[in-house]
Structure 1
């Protein structure tokens, strides 16, 4: 792979009798936008693989939970879902305390450190002697696995300057990363037949392979690249006074780090776009993880399938995830084709990204009521199972559109915006599965699932409201980047750090 060293050829010689500010312009070969096609593709694929590895591990207990419960003799149904829930608790804390580090130390060191912790935690899960030890290692696995969920979005914002190419790349890797989530229970249900430990050994192997690939990952965070260039220049005899903007911050390292760590929470509570986008995506994400617990109840309890076979019920959902990319591609092609004649308002991020979220919300409601009222022994099992196809499409339309919307809106701070969204998503995903057993045993499949459908109905207005008022809301934001109409929605970097000290 190409060297991670920042080239100096295009950098002009500085007057070294005064402090010189080192920057990398958009025409500079060292700018991530101008990385070679091979280099950008490698960075996109490796970080996308990290995302997929993280989501695959999140769904592991969905297929292995019965084997884990049998091995450790766990009878309490709330405890059975604890390995799933505690992983998502790690997902909650990871974006708050780890992901923002990529906006201070760079993308590559953050991803490497997180993967190393995940690798060790996965081995710990595979060797866990007790259920308590398994839960502890699952927490640290979730904590470290949360990093790719948000940092990868920042990497894509670093690499792709226009929203068209970035949107397609983001949609592809989000879908690829989501297939393991919905199909993971099927895989792990069969892998765990000899022993549930084989599931954790599988994730350990994938993490080890990722670690090797990350060694050759180029740094993509522009302020870090500018710092690297300044350090290279200072190594020479004539440029000892060269500094990057990030090095001229007057605050202490602790203050800078504190600002980075607090940014996701500040963005969630202070940015209406982040707040409502996070809530909208959180519901379908939480329902997905509740279905990991509910599907065995439906297809094992009602239709008498074995746990391994009942895991196959997730395959239609995986099909829906695949089909969603075709829907996203059609919408993107339609939008780009009509962009030259569009009004300035129709060129903003809301009109480009959120119509898919509107459609996804409606499809989510349809799929949940379909599942609710067709899950009966008098109706063939294929009918409720096929509702997962619609749910899979809805899941991706919502997740991809919200992911792209936040990335378009927040640019170099997208890792923090996505971190806030991921935190809320994971919090909901961790809590809702705990109620699965009580809901389905007390209310029955029809009404328990219908309650989820009614909650989805309540969320439908959110993307419609953002389409109308989102641009005005973003105009008052200190974090949002400027979006230029009729320029393929090119995202301009805003030097907020030097102005506000954020």
Structure 2
């Protein structure tokens, strides 16, 4: 009898190495591998079955967790660039909205705001399809083909000859562009052990937040020089350059898909059609997809930790977009900035976020590493320790108060910008801590958890600004931003409660997914 793939090296099949399935993350939710569709199996029976294909020991280089640092960081760098490019489309053209309204004979302020928001609606609904597809097809195909579609839809937006056509292509750009934002954190969880995940997440997390802030800086000057359509041509160029890079250098990281490829190869080599993957589920791909497509919403609705943490991030993200809607009239009408210079008003938000990423990315990893050095079992709640989340939560309203009242009374333009910088640093701290916490708490739900967060965050980011200008008209900049600051103050206890009771809550609310 010809030896099977798992026997040919003279070794028994080893225990499956699923990313982050170490003793620190195995908890009440470990009964079913919901990301891969792996049901409650008899692990011992699988280990004794010669037809079950697993990694070739704990150091198998085919396992993404064992890749070299160079290979891991190459993948993460490509993902990070993708995650910066696609959010640029959300607001890079914002300084040119007045020109667009004149060109298409529009006067409605709601239309002006929705031109920005419709892109974010694509970010809201895209993850509901992308997350489950990534659990069936793997990560790489979605990155590659999502980027190709993003370029095609950018061409459509650049050639738009009506406001409706521009709306449609911006929505499609958002749908295609949501791929790296939805599954990027899942790819990082596939690659990185828990003590190194923070710095990798910091590189990836810059895109969704920096894009809306840095984009208008370049967009303001570009639109002033050559017109708003060149914003989309520039996105086509950047996205197009990533097509060959992603095709040749980006690698698949999802363990079940990689192990399934190994099974197919071994079936040909051994002529043994009975071989099957250790990580294969009992469900067909079609049934896995059906199960996975409702998983993000089930997490969002049935899991209090995901619900409230996602709500915290979503509200703060929505407030950011509310602030962005005020920049164009505050700095151009009140402080006399030109159309080109108005893009620079987004720079403080970007600087604040970069500061938050650098600080919190290092702090969270250091806290995890310190506990591991002391032999303390890792708890996901370390990611939302009060020493991290309390300062982040407090500076959010402080930044809003400074921005609102100094702009209201016409204080020198640098002061409201400092307020925005402070707010943005706090926002990055909140989002970063929450994202890492949910990945650690539900490691096998990585794509679904991120999709749940992205849906809620993007919906509020898209819808809140629609009523933002009316709120500021009614309350003024001072009291309007004070109202937002009081909302941010009310949210501060959420991570503190989960830091104290999170482990107990995770055990109690464990929906069957």
**Normalising to structure 2: TM-score of the pair?**
0.86
Mapped partners of 1:343, 1:159: distance in 2: 23
Which residue does the alignment assign to 2:264?
231
Q: Is structure 2 residue 291 aligned with structure 1 residue 259?
A: yes
1:370 to 399, 402, 405: 402
Give the 3-state SS of the residue equivalent to 1:215 in structure 2: helix
**Structure 1 position 330, deviation (Å):** 5.4
Task: Please list every run of 5 or more consecutive structure 2 residues that lacks an aligned counterpart in the other structure.
Answer: 14-45
Higher mean Cα deviation, 106-115 or 301-310? Answer: 301-310
Mapped partners of 1:56, 1:370: distance in 2: 27
2:382 to 342, 346, 351: 351
**Structure 1 position 129, deviation (Å):** 1.1
Which residue does the alignment assign to 1:93?
125
Which residue does the alignment assign to 1:82?
114
Mapped partners of 2:129, 2:457: distance in 1: 16
1:310 to 326, 342, 363: 342
8 Å contact from structure 1 (residues 300, 310) kept in 2: yes
Which residue does the alignment assign to 1:3?
none
Q: Is structure 2 residue 453 aligned with structure 1 residue 453?
A: no
Give the 3-state SS of the residue equivalent to 2:62 in structure 1: coil
Matches within 5 A, 1:390-405: 390-405=422-437
**Structure 1 position 228, deviation (Å):** 0.6
8 Å contact from structure 2 (residues 6, 50) kept in 1: no
Mapped partners of 2:10, 2:77: distance in 1: 30
The alignment's C-alpha RMSD in Å is 2.6
Matches within 5 A, 1:76-475: 76-161=108-193, 163-175=194-206, 178-193=209-224, 194-216=226-248, 217-245=250-278, 247-249=280-282, 251-329=283-361, 331-332=363-364, 335-336=367-368, 338-339=370-371, 344=376, 347-355=378-386, 356-376=388-408, 378-475=410-507
| 1:401-439 Cα distance to aligned partner (Å, 9 max, x none) | 111111112223211001000000001001111012211
Mapped partners of 1:9, 1:59: distance in 2: 56
Q: How many residues align?
A: 472
| 1:143-171 Cα distance to aligned partner (Å, 9 max, x none) | 1111211200000000012x221111111
**Structure 1 position 10, deviation (Å):** 6.5
Which residue does the alignment assign to 2:59?
27
**Structure 1 position 343, deviation (Å):** 8.8
8 Å contact from structure 1 (residues 10, 28) kept in 2: no
**Structure 1 position 200, deviation (Å):** 0.6
**Normalising to structure 1: TM-score of the pair?**
0.88
Mapped partners of 1:410, 1:472: distance in 2: 14
Mapped partners of 2:7, 2:461: distance in 1: 47
**Structure 1 position 73, deviation (Å):** 2.4
Give the 3-state SS of the residue equivalent to 1:301 in structure 2: helix
Task: Please list every run of 5 or more consecutive structure 1 residues that lacks an aligned counterpart in the other structure.
Answer: 1-5, 480-499
8 Å contact from structure 1 (residues 88, 426) kept in 2: yes
Mapped partners of 1:448, 1:10: distance in 2: 69
Which residue does the alignment assign to 2:85?
53
Mapped partners of 2:442, 2:158: distance in 1: 39
Higher mean Cα deviation, 463-472 or 32-41? Answer: 32-41
Give the 3-state SS of the residue equivalent to 1:28 in structure 2: coil
Give the 3-state SS of the residue equivalent to 1:235 in structure 2: helix
**Structure 1 position 123, deviation (Å):** 0.8
Give the 3-state SS of the residue equivalent to 2:269 in structure 1: coil
**Cα 1:192–1:103 shift into 2, 3 Å:** same
**Structure 1 position 13, deviation (Å):** 8.8
Mapped partners of 1:331, 1:43: distance in 2: 23
